[in-house]
Amino acid sequence: MIGYQLTAYGPPASHTIATLPDIVVGPGQVLIRNEAIGLNFPDALMVQGKYQKRPEPPFVPGRDCAGTVIAVGEGVTGFKIGDPVVAQVFSGAFAEQVAAPVERVFHRPSGVSAIDAAGAATVFNTAFVAVSIRANVKAGDRVVVTGAAGGVGAAAVQLAANLGAHVVGIVSSEEKAELVRCCGAERALVIAVRDEEALKDVFKNEVRRAWSDDRGADVIIDTVGGAMFQAGLRGLGFAGKLVIVGFASGDIPAAKANYLLYNNLTVMGAPLDIHFDEALDRMRDGAAWWLGLLAQGKAQANVTAVLPFERLMQGLQDILDRKVAGKLVVQTGAVV
- Provide the residue ranges of all domains of the chain, joining segments of one domain with +: 2-121+279-331, 136-269
294 or 151: which leads in pLDDT: 294
Q: Give one word for 173, left, alpha or beta, with left for phi > 0 and alpha for psi -120 to 50.
A: beta
| Interval 298-312 mean pLDDT | 95
Residue 33's DSSP bridge partners are 68, 97
Q: Is 54 a residue whose pLDDT tops 70?
A: yes
pLDDT recorded at residue 324: 81
Contact 176, 147 (CB under 8 A): no
Which one, of 107, 100, 79, 102, lies nearest residue 34 by Cα? 100
Q: Is 232 a residue whose pLDDT tops 70?
A: yes
pLDDT recorded at residue 322: 80
192 or 171: which leads in pLDDT: 171
92 or 333: which leads in pLDDT: 92
Q: What sign results for the dihedral spanned by CA atoms 185, 85, 67, 61? A: positive
Q: Which of 3-12, 191-200, 210-219 has the lowest mean pLDDT?
A: 191-200
Per-chain mean pLDDT for the chain = 94
Which one, of 248, 246, 163, 236, lies nearest residue 204 by Cα? 236
Q: What sign results for the dihedral spanned by CA atoms 188, 190, 196, 201? A: negative
| Interval 186-210 mean pLDDT | 89
Helix (H, G, I), strand (E, B) or coil at 35: strand
Q: Is 334 a residue whose pLDDT tops 60?
A: no
pLDDT tens-digit series, residues 129-155: 999 999 999 999 999 999 998 889 999
Answer whether CATH 3.40.50.300 is correct for domain 136-269: no
pLDDT recorded at residue 196: 85
pLDDT recorded at residue 81: 97
Q: Which of 11-20, 45-54, 283-292, 320-329 has the lowest mean pLDDT?
A: 320-329
pLDDT recorded at residue 336: 29
Specify the DSSP element, H or E, that contains 33. Answer: strand 29-38
CATH of domain 2-121+279-331: 3.90.180.10
Contact 324, 33 (CB under 8 A): no
pLDDT tens-digit series, residues 58-99: 999 999 999 999 999 999 999 999 999 999 999 999 999 999
Tell me the pTM. 0.92
Residue 2's DSSP bridge partners are 19
pLDDT recorded at residue 335: 36
